[in-house]
Structure 1
Amino acid sequence: MDERRAPGIGGLPRVRVGPPRWLTGAPGGPAARLPWVSTVLLGAVVLAGSAVAARVRPEGRLPLDPVARLLLLLAVAVLLLRHRYPVAAAYGSAVAATAYLAAGYPYGPVFLAVAVGCFGAVVAGHRRAAWAAVGLVWLGHVLVAHWLYRWLPPAGDRAAGWGQELGITAWVLALAAAAEFVRVRREQGADRRAERQAAERRRADEERLRMARELHDVLAHSISVINVQSNVGLALLDSDPEQARAALTAIKAASKEALGEVRQVLDTLRTPGDAPTAPAPGLDRLPELVEQAASTGLTVTVETDGVRRSVPPGADLAAFRIVQEALTNVVRHSGSRTARVRVGYRPDRIRLGIDDEGPATGTDAGGSGNGLAGMRERAAGLGGTIEAGPRTGGGFRVRAELPLPTGTSGPAAHQEEDP
C-alpha cells in the first residue's frame, strides 16, 4: 500500500491509499501501465500446457498439485515487472522454473515464461543478467536430470537422455538469437531516431542563424541611416527647417523599408514552408542602397564589370547584404564621405569590392559588432571567401567572391582584373 500524506483538517496528516509504486509502470503512474494482458495470456498458456503435459506424458513425473501451480504462477507473475525491473523479472522467472523442475513436476511450457523474462532483459540492455538467468535454468536442469535426480522426487526417477539436453541447448541458442536480433533492431531504430533528431536540430539552428543574420543586416543598415538622419534633423531643426524636414523624410522611408523587410523575415516563421510574399532583395536594388547612403551624406559610386545575368536567389541576396553591411560600416565607423562599390560578374562567380578612404572615426557608433562575422558566414555558406581590412594608404576595403552554380552563366565580358 502506498500512503501519500498531505495536510488534513486541523493540521493532521491525511492518508490517501493508492496502488503501491512498485506495482505501477512508472512512479505515480496508473497500474494499467503494467503488461497485464500479455502476462495473463502467458499464464493461461503455461497452466493449460502444463496440465496437458501432465496427462499426456507423465513419464513418472509428479502430478500437478497446488505447489506446482503456485510455482508456475510465480514464474509468470514476476513478468509483470519486466518493463521496469527486467533483471529481477528474469531471475525470478528462472528461479521459479528451476524449482518447478527440481520438484519433479512434468515438463511443459514453463520454459516459455523464462524465455519471455530473459528476452525482455536482453532487449532492455541487461544481456549478462539475461544469459545468467538462462544459464541458471540450463545448469539446474543438467544437475537435476543427471545427478540430483537420485535424491529428488519422484522416487525411482532415472537420468534423462543427453538428446534432451541437446534440445534444451538448441532452445537456448534460438532464444539468444531472437533476443539479440530484436535488441540490434531496436538499437538501430534508436540510432536512426537520434540522427533524425540531430538533423532536425541542425536545420533549426541553421534557420535561426539565417534569421538572426538577416534581421541584423536589415536593422543595422536602417537604424544607422535613422541615427545619422536624426542627428542631422536635430542639428538643423531651428536653423534650417527644410533640411530637417528632408532628414525626417529619410527617417520615415528607412523605417518603412526596415519594417517591411522585418515583416517578410518574420512571416517565414509564422508560416514555415510557404513562399515569401515579396522577393528577397538582390543586386538589382543597389540603387536604393546608393540613395539611402546619399541621404546620410555618403556619396557612393557603383561600377559594374561584366554583364548582369540570372543569379541564384541565395547568391544574389548574400551579395546585396554584403554590400549593405559594408556601406553601413562606412556610415558608422569611417570619416570618409565617399565610397566605391565594384561588382564583377564572371561565368562561375561574383566578385565584390567596397572601398572607402577613411580615416576611421574611432567612436562607438553602436551595433552588435557582428557585421564582419555575418558577412563571412554568408560567403562561407555559399562556398565563397571574403577579406576585410585596412587599405594601404588609409581607409578600409572589403573583397568578396561568391561562386555560382554551373549553368547560371550567360553572356558576360570576361575581364580578369580585381574589382
Structure 2
Amino acid sequence: MTGDTRDAGRRARLLDVGLAVAIGAAVTVAALAASAPGVLDLVLVAIGSLALAEHRRAPRAVLVVTTLAMFGYVLHAHPGTWAAFPVLAAVHAAARSGHRARGVAAGALFLAGYFAVLITVSPAVEDVVERTLLLLGWFLCAGVTGLIDKNWQAYLRQTEQRALDAERTRDETALRRAGEERLRIARELHDSLTHSISIVKLQAGVAVHLARKRGTEVEPALLAIQEASGEAMRELRATLEVLRTDVVEPGTGLDRIGELAERARSAGITLALIVSGDERPLPAAVDRAAYRIVQEALTNVARHADRAPTTVRLAYGPSALTVHVDDHGPCGPDDTVTAGTGLTGMRERVTALGGTLAAAPRRAGGFSVRAELPLYSAGSGG
C-alpha cells in the first residue's frame, strides 16, 4: 500500500470517527436539555451514534445497530425528533453504499415505531403527526443525498478509469510506433550497411587470397581490414536482431501485479491477492495474458460492481497457470451478463494460448472470472 493510500484511508477513518462523535454529542446535549436521561438512555445513544464510525466498512450492520439502538431510546425516553439524527446518517450511508432498499426499510420501521410510541403517550395528536411528517421529509432527504453521493463517487471513479485507459492507450500507441520505427531503422541498416560491409569484406578476402597465392607477404593493413569487416558484419547482425525483436509491453507482466493491486485499492476496491504454487518466470505471452486478465477483471469491478470486495488468486501448476478473480458485487446468480469488448478480448487472449476461460455470475452473488493458461502451448512462447 502506498503512502498516499494509507494517508487517505487514515483521514477517512478520522473523519468517520469525528462525525460519529459529533452526532453522539449533539444528541446527548439535546437529551440533557430536554430532560434528565438515565444511564440506559445514554448508553443507547452512544451505541447508535458511535456505530456510525464503521459505516464505510459495514453499512448494513451499522444501519441495523443504529436503528435498533435509537428505537430502543425512543421506546424508553419518548424524545424529540433529534433522536432520529443517527438513523438519518445510517440511512444516508446505506444509500451511498448501494443498499437503498434496506435504508428505506429501516427508515420506514423507525418512523412507524416513533409514531406508534408517541401517539400512545402524547395527547397532542397533531403535534405527533407533524413530528412524524417532518422526520419523513428528513429521511427522504437522507436517502436522496446518499444516492447523489453514490452517483458522484461513481462518476469520479469512471473519470479516473477513463484517464487511466487513455494513458494506457497512449502508451500502447507510442510503443507500437517505436516498434515500427525500430523495424524501419533495421531495414535501412540492412539495405545500406550490410551490402557495403559485405563488399569490403569480400574484396579484402580476395586481396589476401591473391597475395598468398603469389607468395608475397600480406600487408598487415589488409589483414586488419579483413578482420574488422568481419567483426563489423557480426556486430551489425546482432544489432539488427535486437532491433527486430518484439517489444515487450512495459507494465504488463505479473511482476507488476503488486502495482496493479495497489491502483485498484487506491480506487476503493478492497482487494485480496493470493499466490499459490511454485512461483516462477512464465512464457512472455502467458505472463502478459495473465496480467491483462486481472487488469480487465478489476476494471469491470470498478465499473460494474461498485468497487465490491474482490479476491485475485494466481495458482502456479506444473503445466498451467490458473487466474481466478472473484468479486462480491451486486450481480445475482440468475442475472444475464452480456460480453463486452473486455470479456471478448479476454477470451481471445486465452483461446490464442490454448487455454480455457469461464466468466459468469457466482451462486453466492457477484461475478467470477477463471482462466487456465497452459505454460507450454503453441502460442505461449515457451
The normalised TM-score by structure 2 is 0.48
> Which has a greater percent of helix?
2
The normalised TM-score by structure 1 is 0.44
Bigger Rg, which one: 1
